[in-house]
């Protein structure tokens, strides 16, 4: 399945800088976590915009579709993304 972008290295969402748009490439977690992310609109191939991120242990604030919410660092670390070209 082509997502319409060039394949790049998978990076945890927790390491993405502010103001970047990324595509979800994988969610590294159990079925409960994956289902929770899907309920928030986060699934493979989905575009996410990172609005803010605190450097050390803070949450990552993202925009998914028309929704904006904060993900804890450990949650964001389980979401692997590719930077949008």
For the chain, what is the domain count?
1
Per-residue pLDDT in tens (0 to 9) along the chain, 85 residues: 445 545 578 999 999 999 999 999 999 999 999 999 999 999 999 999 999 987 777 899 999 999 999 999 999 999 999 997 7
DSSP 46-79: -EEEEEEE-SSS--EEEEETTEEEEE-HHHHHTE
Residue 36 belongs to domain with CATH number: 2.30.30.90
Residue 4 in any domain: the answer is: no
Reported pTM:
0.86
Residue 56 in any domain: the answer is: yes
Question: Tokens for 57?
Answer: 């242990």
- Name the β-bridge partners of 25: none
**Could you count the other beta carbons within 10 Å of the beta carbon of residue 59?**
16
Give the integer Cα–Cα distance in Å for 64 and 53.
15
Residue 15 in any domain: the answer is: yes
Residue 64 in any domain: the answer is: yes
Q: Which domain holds residue 52?
A: 11-83
Q: Tokens 């609109």 identify what position?
A: 41
Residue 73 in any domain: the answer is: yes
Residue 6 in any domain: the answer is: no
Find the radius of gyration of the CA atoms of the chain.
12
């Amino acid at each position: 399945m082509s997502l319409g972008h060039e394949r790049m290295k998978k990076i945890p969402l927790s390491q993405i800088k502010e103001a970047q748009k990324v595509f979800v490439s994988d969610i590294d977690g159990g079925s409960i976590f994956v289902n929770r992310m899907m309920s928030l609109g986060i699934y493979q191939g989905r575009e996410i915009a990172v609005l803010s991120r605190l450097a050390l242990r803070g949450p990552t604030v993202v925009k998914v579709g028309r929704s904006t919410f904060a993900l804890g660092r450990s949650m964001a670390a389980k979401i692997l993304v590719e930077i949008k070209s």
